[in-house]
Amino acid sequence: MVPRKKSGRYKKIGGQTGPIKHGLYMSPSQLDGRTWVAKMLKKIRTGLLEGFPDPPPIRVQIIADLCSVKIFQVNCYKANVLTGLSDSNQYTEITCLALMNSITRDIMALDQLAKNHAPKDRVPSLQEYLEAIKEKNVVLPEIK
């Protein structure tokens, strides 16, 4: 039997009971990896980690994890307000603006870290490679 409380609903999650939370107040630690929320968070995280070598450094992974949760929370808030499911008040608007500001700073930090971890020697394009060979007068072997 799941206990009930006057202030809100409770749901049994993984053997524990706790209030159902969503939107700006969801807990990513209680997500089941098979849900669409967990899959969306993974897609966002993967997109944020594109510019890094595999595996990315731990500090980059932490920033990407936190940023993906913030992005999802802001999108939930915007969707609820646009569809009329949730009334907007000053507290949620300030929270949403703070999250968006934090997302901006996280993405700027990820960009800076990506520049620091970029390979020093850039791989030339095929056109650049062929021009370099012509400049050096290198004779390429014939392919039969």
pLDDT in tens, 49-101: 988 888 888 899 999 999 999 998 898 888 888 887 777 788 888 988 999 99
In a domain, 137, yes or no: no
Read off the pLDDT of residues 27-60 as tens digits, 9 standing for 90 and up.
666 667 788 888 888 899 999 998 888 888 889 9
Please give the C-alpha separations between residue 47 and each of 71, 84, 124, in angstroms, as whole numbers: 12, 29, 25
- Asked if residue 113 is part of any domain, the answer here is yes
Q: Would you say residue 32 lies in a domain?
A: yes
- Domains contained in the chain, number: 1
Task: Specify if 98 maps to a domain.
Answer: yes
